[in-house]
Structure 1
Amino acid sequence: MLNQTDLARVDLNLLVLFEAVIETLHVGRAAERLYVSPSAVSHGLGRLRRLLDDPLFLKTPRGVVPTARALELTKPIADVLAGVRGVVAAATPFDPATSTRRFAIGAPDAVSVVFLQPLLAAVRAKAPGIDLTLRQLLPVPGESAPERAWRGAFADLDDRALDIAIVPMNAVPARFDSRLLYDEDFVVAARAGHPFAKAPTLDRFCAMHHLVTSLGGDPHGFVDDVLAKQGRSRRVALTVPNFMLAMAVVADSDLIAALPRRFVQSHGKAAGVVAIEPPMPLGQSQLNAVLPRAAATDQGLVWLADRLVDAVGRKLSTRKTRSPHGTEGLQHRVRATQRRPVRDGAG
Structure 2
Amino acid sequence: MLNEIDLSRADLNLLKLFEVVLQERHVGRAGDRLRLSPSAISHGLRRLRKLLNDPLFLKTPKGVVPTPRALQVAEPIANILTQVRRMVVAVEPFRPKTSNRTFTISAADALSAVFLPPLVEKLAVAAPNIDLTVLQMLPYRKGGPIERTWRPVLAEIDAGLVDIAVAPLDDVPARFNRRAMLKERFVVVMHAGHPFAEQPTLERYCTMRHVLVSFTGDRKGLIDETLEACGLARRVVLTVPNYTMALAAVAESDLIAAVPAVLAARQGPRFGLVSADLPIDTGHAPISVIAQKAVMADAGLTWMFEQVCEAVKTHYVEPSSQLPD
TM-score normalised over the length of structure 1:
0.65
Q: Deviations over 1:275-320 (max 9, x none)?
A: 2112222210111111011343111111111111111222147x54
Alignment-derived partner of residue 290 in structure 1:
290
SS at match of 2:134: strand
Q: Deviations over 1:150-185 (max 9, x none)?
A: 353222212222110111111112221111222111
SS at match of 1:183: strand
Gaps of 5+ in 2: 1-70, 77-82
In the alignment, the residues of structure 1 paired with residue 115 and residue 186 of structure 2 have an alpha-carbon distance, to the nearest angstrom, of 18
94-103 or 152-161: bigger deviation:
152-161
**CA displacement at 1:89 relative to structure 2:** 4.0
Q: Does 1:144 align with 2:151?
A: no
Alignment-derived partner of residue 160 in structure 2:
160
Q: Does 1:232 align with 2:224?
A: no
Q: Deviations over 1:196-219 (max 9, x none)?
A: 001111111111111111123221
Q: In structure 2, give the amino acid aligned to 1:144.
A: P
**Equivalent residues in 2 for 1:112-151, closer than 5 Å:** 112-142=112-142, 143-144=144-145, 146=147, 148-151=148-151
**Equivalent residues in 2 for 1:168-247, closer than 5 Å:** 168-247=168-247
Q: Is the 8 A contact 2:146 2:222 kept in 1?
A: no
In the alignment, the residues of structure 1 paired with residue 146 and residue 211 of structure 2 have an alpha-carbon distance, to the nearest angstrom, of 25
**CA displacement at 1:226 relative to structure 2:** 1.6
Q: Is the 8 A contact 1:251 1:273 kept in 2?
A: yes
Identity %: 41
**CA displacement at 1:191 relative to structure 2:** 1.1
Q: Is the 8 A contact 1:100 1:129 kept in 2?
A: yes
In the alignment, the residues of structure 2 paired with residue 236 and residue 267 of structure 1 have an alpha-carbon distance, to the nearest angstrom, of 22
Alignment-derived partner of residue 103 in structure 2:
103
SS at match of 1:135: strand
Alignment-derived partner of residue 257 in structure 1:
257
Q: Deviations over 1:70-107 (max 9, x none)?
A: xxxxxxxxxxxxx9997444122111011000001000
Aligned residues: 245
Over 3 Å counting, the alpha-carbon distance change for 1:283 and 1:163 in structure 2 is: same
In the alignment, the residues of structure 1 paired with residue 121 and residue 196 of structure 2 have an alpha-carbon distance, to the nearest angstrom, of 38
TM-score normalised over the length of structure 2:
0.69
Over 3 Å counting, the alpha-carbon distance change for 1:136 and 1:316 in structure 2 is: closer
In the alignment, the residues of structure 2 paired with residue 185 and residue 275 of structure 1 have an alpha-carbon distance, to the nearest angstrom, of 13
In the alignment, the residues of structure 2 paired with residue 201 and residue 274 of structure 1 have an alpha-carbon distance, to the nearest angstrom, of 16
